[in-house]
């Protein structure tokens, strides 16, 4: 008898320890769930652990039952914790592992609930129609109680529930395994599969196929232990992540403080704003406590509040990014500029939930912008002064240039008149005298007559050159129509210099002002003179064309040309370029030894030359 009591004590210890362990785990994770109610997995585990503990207590009483009535009562009520345990297991797998077919889960819920209802509708239970006796068996060196009776056919529903639970557990284990989380697949899924298989001993004991006690508590405790292990790993990982997050938050706050950056989050439903610690201190808020939008807006400059409200409303109502610059007034009375940027986060229904963002102190930038604007204004003032000074200087220079050109023109006309009326006439007189001398010497002294004839030719050539030079120096004052003036120039060159000269212009009435016409005529005159005098040209072609924005004067000859590398800055070239600049244009010469010379002068039609009134 003492040996039987020793083994019964051992069984009592095992089942009691099992119940105590389950209750301890249930209490621990129940406390965890009270702090983290957003995670229902802790509540489901707590229900599973409590149910396993209650089942363990029921089974211990059933092992020690002495009467049929006592066993029947225990068999009826043990279905309540079994129902809670089954529903909790399935719901835990669905929520925690995100596995298992939904239709299987709902089938188990419905069928297990139907079993529970029918269990209390039958006289004894859904397992037995009637328990006729209690059999005492020697099990593991101890004497235990096993029921003897007539099985209830409706107990088949319980067996179908066990089959569905086995299928559900196996399918969930395969899903988690394929997902790559093999440890959880083996621990939780494998323990549930093994538990569902071992649970099949219950119908075998009820039908008398197996002579053994019920040990559902030990079977389910294995599943509870696997669940607890995974949850403990999650808690440990969460604690480690919390420590790492704390370290990262300190580092991030340090970096944000170094960059003068603040972070904030506004819970729109609770009207509660979280602000990083440094920014809270700068705004004069305590280190902890609730901050509302009204309290925060009181720190902003009164002139910027409407602008900020409008930006916030647009961000919330239209889903736009929130971005605004405003002024804040800290408790010390100073004023700081803040640039805030944020974005609205919505829930699964698209409703705005919170507004998160960052704020950057841009006071230094704003002060730099103000200083830069002042400097730009000062530079603009100096530029205007300098421009006015340069304009006056340019106008004065233009006046002096006009006077110089006018003086040169007057002097050229005087020299031209002197050459024409003085030197030219004297050369003509010399030629006439030499001609008379030739005629006198022709009869008696022919040799001297030939010399006199040479003198006549030289005098006539000198007179011709003098007339040509006088024409060139006379200028182009009052040329009138530029085309007519160029045609007259070409005619004079053809008659006096025996050089074929033609003019082509693409307009009958040319829109050229008198100063521009004078300068263009002088450029053409200089180019023609160079072609005849230095290039030994036989033909000269003058072309004047007009475009939408500019006009082009081209003087082309078939003379000898010259080397631009050795004679690129001759006086004639400088004069032509200078005259072109006076009317806002440009002058370019293209030439080469034996290739002739082409002078291009391009003048914009809308140009206002610096010496536009120069004659």
Q: Average pLDDT, stretch 216-232?
A: 77
Mean pLDDT of the chain: 77
Q: Average pLDDT, stretch 581-594?
A: 82
The residues, any chain, with a CB within 8 Å of residue 266's CB and separated by 6 or more, are 272, 273, 274, 293, 354, 355, 356
Q: Could you tell me what percent of the chain has a pLDDT over 70?
A: 86
- pLDDT for res 151: 85
Please report, for residues 78, 352, 406, 476, the alpha-carbon distance to residue 419 in angstroms, rounded to integers and kept in the order given: 144, 99, 20, 17
> Tokens for 444?
């008696």
First-to-last C-alpha distance (Å) of the chain: 147
- pLDDT for res 353: 82
3-state helix, strand, coil in the chain (%, to 5): 65, 15, 20
- Cα 84 from Cα 157, distance rounded (Å): 17
Q: What ranges in 212-264 are assigned the alpha helix state H?
A: 216-258
More confident residue, 507 or 7: 507
**Quick count: other Cβ atoms within 10 Å of Cβ 444?**
8
Chain center to CA of 420: 80
- pLDDT for res 294: 79
In this structure, are residues 603 and 551 in contact, taking their beta carbons and an 8 Å threshold? yes
Angle at 336 between CA 334 and CA 340, to 5 degrees: 150
**Quick count: other Cβ atoms within 10 Å of Cβ 396?**
10
**Quick count: other Cβ atoms within 10 Å of Cβ 388?**
10
Q: Which residue has the tokens 């020697």?
A: 138
Q: Which residue has the tokens 């500019």?
A: 550
What domains are defined for the chain? 2-237 (1.20.1070), 259-361 (3.30.450.20), 478-615 (3.30.565.10)
pLDDT band at 391 (very low <50, low <70, confident <90, very high): confident
Highest mean pLDDT among 133-137, 331-335, 413-417: 133-137
**Quick count: other Cβ atoms within 10 Å of Cβ 256?**
19
pLDDT in tens, 490-532: 888 887 777 888 888 875 445 677 778 878 888 888 888 888 8
- Cα 541 from Cα 532, distance rounded (Å): 12
| pLDDT greater than 50 at residue 8 | no
Q: Average pLDDT, stretch 11-22?
A: 77
- pLDDT for res 86: 86
Q: Average pLDDT, stretch 52-65?
A: 82
pTM for the full model? 0.49
Please report, for residues 67, 428, 443, 480, the alpha-carbon distance to residue 438 in angstroms, rounded to integers and kept in the order given: 179, 15, 9, 46
pLDDT in tens, 330-365: 777 777 787 878 788 787 777 888 877 777 777 788
Point out the least confidently predicted range of 419-423, 541-545, 560-564, 567-571: 567-571
For residue 573, give the 3-state DSSP assignment: helix
Give me the phi and psi of 63, to 5 degrees please. -65, -30
- Cα 575 from Cα 386, distance rounded (Å): 30
Could you say which DSSP state residue 320 is in?
P
| pLDDT greater than 80 at residue 84 | yes
- Reference 224, options 118, 364, 84, 329; nearest CA is 84
pLDDT band at 178 (very low <50, low <70, confident <90, very high): confident
- pLDDT for res 495: 77
Point out the least confidently predicted range of 44-53, 193-202, 366-375, 542-551: 193-202
- Cα 437 from Cα 450, distance rounded (Å): 10
- pLDDT for res 63: 78
- pLDDT for res 613: 36
pLDDT in tens, 280-322: 776 777 767 778 877 777 777 888 888 878 888 887 787 777 7
Could you say which DSSP state residue 589 is in?
E
């Amino acid at each position: 008898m003492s040996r039987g009591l020793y083994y019964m004590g051992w069984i009592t210890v095992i089942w009691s320890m099992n119940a105590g362990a389950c209750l301890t785990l249930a209490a621990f994770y129940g406390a965890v769930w009270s702090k983290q109610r957003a995670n229902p997995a802790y509540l489901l585990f707590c229900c599973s652990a409590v149910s396993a503990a209650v089942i363990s207590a029921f089974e211990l009483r059933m092992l020690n039952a002495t009467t049929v009535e006592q066993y029947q009562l225990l068999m009826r009520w043990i279905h309540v914790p079994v129902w809670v345990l089954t529903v909790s297991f399935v719901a835990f797998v669905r929520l925690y592992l995100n596995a298992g077919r939904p239709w299987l889960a709902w089938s188990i819920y419905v069928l297990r609930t139907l079993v529970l209802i029918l269990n209390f509708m039958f006289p004894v239970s859904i397992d037995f129609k009637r328990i006729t006796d209690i059999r005492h068996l020697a099990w593991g060196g101890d004497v235990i109680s096993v029921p003897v009776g007539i099985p209830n056919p409706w107990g088949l529903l319980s067996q179908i529930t066990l089959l569905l639970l086995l299928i559900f557990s196996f399918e969930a284990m395969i899903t988690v395994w394929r997902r790559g989380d093999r440890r959880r697949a083996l621990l939780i899924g494998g323990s549930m599969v093994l538990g569902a298989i071992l649970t099949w001993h219950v119908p075998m004991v009820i039908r008398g196929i197996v002579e053994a006690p019920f040990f559902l508590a030990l079977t389910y405790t294995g599943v509870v232990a696997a669940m607890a292990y995974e949850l403990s790993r999650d808690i440990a990982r969460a604690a480690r992540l919390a420590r790492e997050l704390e370290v990262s938050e300190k580092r991030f706050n340090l970096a944000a403080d170094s960059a003068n950056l603040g972070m904030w989050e506004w819970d729109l439903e609770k009207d509660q704003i979280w602000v990083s610690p440094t920014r809270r201190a700068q705004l004069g808020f305590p280190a902890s406590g609730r901050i509302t939008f009204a309290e925060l807006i009181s720190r902003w400059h009164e002139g910027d509040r409407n602008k900020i409200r409008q930006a916030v409303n647009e961000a919330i109502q239209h889903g736009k990014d929130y971005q605004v610059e405003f002024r804040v007034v800290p408790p010390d009375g100073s004023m700081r500029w803040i640039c805030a940027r944020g974005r609205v986060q919505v829930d699964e229904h698209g409703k705005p939930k919170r507004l998160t963002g960052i704020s950057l102190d841009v006071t230094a930038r704003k002060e730099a912008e103000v200083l830069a604007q002042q400097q730009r204004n000062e530079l603009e003032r100096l530029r205007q002064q300098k421009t006015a000074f340069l304009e006056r200087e340019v106008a004065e220079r233009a006046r002096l240039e006009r006077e110089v050109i006018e003086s040169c023109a007057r002097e050229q006309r005087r020299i031209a008149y002197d050459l024409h009326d003085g030197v030219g006439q004297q050369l003509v007189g010399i030629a006439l005298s030499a001609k008379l001398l030739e005629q006198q010497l022709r009869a008696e002294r022919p040799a001297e007559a030939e010399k006199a004839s040479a003198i006549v030719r030289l005098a006539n050539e000198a007179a011709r050159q003098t007339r040509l030079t006088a024409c060139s120096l006379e200028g182009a004052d009052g040329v009138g129509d530029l085309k007519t003036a160029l045609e007259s120039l070409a005619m004079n060159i053809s008659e006096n210099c025996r050089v074929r000269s033609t003019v082509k212009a693409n307009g009958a009435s040319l829109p050229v002002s008198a100063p521009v016409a004078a300068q263009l005529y002088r450029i053409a005159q200089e180019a023609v003179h160079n072609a005849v005098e230095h290039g030994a040209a036989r033909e000269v072609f003058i072309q004047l064309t007009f475009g939408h924005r500019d006009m082009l004067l081209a003087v082309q000859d078939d003379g000898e040309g010259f080397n631009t590398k050795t004679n690129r800055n001759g006086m004639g070239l400088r004069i032509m370029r200078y005259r072109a600049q006076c009317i806002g244009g440009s002058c370019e010469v293209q030439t080469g030894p034996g290739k002739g010379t082409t002078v291009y002068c391009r003048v914009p039609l809308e140009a206002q030359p610096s010496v536009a009134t120069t004659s």
